Amino acid sequence: MRTKTLAGPLVAALLLTACSSEEPAPAAGAKGTVDIDIHGWLGYEAQAAVLSYLLEHELGYKVRTRKMKEEDSWKDFQSGKVDVIVENWGHNDLKKEYIEDRKVALSAGLTGNKGVIGWYVPEWMVRKYPDITDWRRLNKYASLFRTAKSGNAGQVLDGDPSFVTNDEALIRNLDLDYKVVYSGSEDALIKAAESATKNRTPLLMYFYEPQWLFTKLKLVKINLPPYAIGCDDDAATVACDYPPYLLDKIVSRSFAQNGGKAYELVRNFTWTNDNQNAVASDMVNKRMTAEQAAKRWVDENKIVWKDWIPR
């Protein structure tokens, strides 16, 4: 999940324009089948659910989904096992390999979401320790964040190791007395944030937006050294904050050429962090299935999605 320049998306957009000017060939089957991979965070699942619902109920396609790690999805563009990645966070290395070099994938445009990655603490900690959001003061508070897994260092709790993260390099290059500990999943990060807020226990964690949890509790972002273009080009020497992410959709080249109206819908899709958080929040807080939450959002937001539907 979740890196550097916008060259990849710009190149992909130019390629996409060339492909989309051709008349698409008929999709397989009566209306065709669209294969969408599901990656390991709830916002992604929420977005995939809305796209799937519209593909099935507005356009008559069949949608197949499977849960995959991000890098594994990219590997399957050439084999045809995946048509769509609905929310991509950077991954310029994968874009270079599969879009520019192998030419088996394309960017299908921005999702409209604004992605933010960083380090966060519960709001109560900022009230008690007002300067804790300054990265230069973090070593002063390292002892607060010690755990059995971090030993004598403070703990920075990360998610799945496959998520986009510079945290180990940041700790090393900023001379911080901390250690990255991987929780293993988004769900584990959320549970840690909820527990730290409820029980007022110290927590310093890797996290990101859009994310439904911000509708439920308050986390405050640490001010790391400001991001500047190129400061994260060398993964080993990163000493700056994460860049702002303009999230995009990635599709196989064959889907862009032959996916017909299904591809047009994916290309046209664009919404906001609040839209995504509303669907994800219903899935968690109202215990809706992904399809139920998608249906509710679709029923209440026709003004948003009606222009996505190809004519």
| pLDDT (tens place) for every residue of the chain, 311 residues total | 543 333 333 333 333 443 433 334 334 334 699 999 999 899 999 999 999 999 999 999 999 999 999 889 999 999 999 999 999 988 888 999 999 999 999 999 999 999 999 999 999 999 999 999 999 999 999 999 999 999 999 999 999 988 889 999 999 999 999 999 999 999 999 999 999 999 999 999 999 999 999 888 999 999 999 999 999 989 899 999 999 888 999 999 999 999 999 999 999 999 999 999 999 999 999 999 999 999 999 999 999 999 999 98
pLDDT of residue 1: 56
Residue of 163, 3, 4 lying closest to 69 (CA atoms): 163
pTM for the model: 0.76
pLDDT, mean over the chain:
90
pLDDT of residue 71: 87
Q: CA of 223: how far to CAs of 85, 226, 232, 241, 298, in Å?
A: 31, 8, 16, 8, 37
According to DSSP, the residues that pair with 248 across neighbouring strands are 88, 110
Q: What is the number of helices (H) and of strands (E) in the chain?
A: 12, 9
Amino acid making up residue 234: D
Cis ω for the linkage preceding 210 (within 30 of 0): yes
Q: 84-100 burial, b if ≥16 CB within 10 A, otherwise e?
A: bbbbbbbbbebbeebbe
